[in-house]
Amino acid sequence: MRALFDAERCPYSGSLAATADSAQSVTQCVPNTPLFGDFVFGGAFRIDSNGPSAPPPICQSSFYSGFNCDADVIVTNETDPPAAGGTWRSISGVVPNVTGANSVAFNCYLGSTTGVTYYLDMLYLSRAPGGF
């Protein structure tokens, strides 16, 4: 679901909002694209909670030999622990030495704390040393 606010306070943008009722995953596949080299990935997140604290999302980039995020996983990596402080926090990771990939999936796994709303914004996957 699209939220009305985002990490950069842009009036024409927004963020992806998901309220957890169990462990959830948000996934986007980029199909039929030859991929090689070093990649960086990440984004920004915010957690709104009325109850117990929730764990930060864990995002992952998986490169596949298949053309639709299928067949063999060539390489995958997760984001590092998030930077501390602030309403919006950033997460990032690196996937080096990608060869022979034909599609990539970007996944963010949300914690299983019921009733917690996660906001995800500025998600990116770029060839290193790029970024968002």
Q: What is the CATH number of the domain that holds 53?
A: 2.60.120.260
What's the confidence (pLDDT) of residue 129? 84
| CB 94 within 8 Å of CB 16 | no
28 in a structural domain: yes
The segments of the chain whose pLDDT lies below 70 read: 1-6, 8-14, 20-23, 49-52, 132
- Give the pLDDT confidence of 19-40 residue by residue, as tens digits: 766 667 888 999 999 999 999 9
Percent of the chain clearing pLDDT 70 (strictly above): 82
Q: What is the rounded distance in angstroms from the CA atom of residue 46 to the CA atom of residue 27?
A: 18
pTM as predicted: 0.84
Q: Which residues pair with 57 in a beta bridge?
A: none
72 in a structural domain: yes
132 in a structural domain: no
Q: What is the rounded distance in angstroms from the CA atom of residue 116 to the CA atom of residue 21?
A: 8
Task: Label residue 102 left, alpha or beta by phi (over 0 means left) and psi (-120 to 50 means alpha).
Answer: alpha
Domain count, the chain: 1
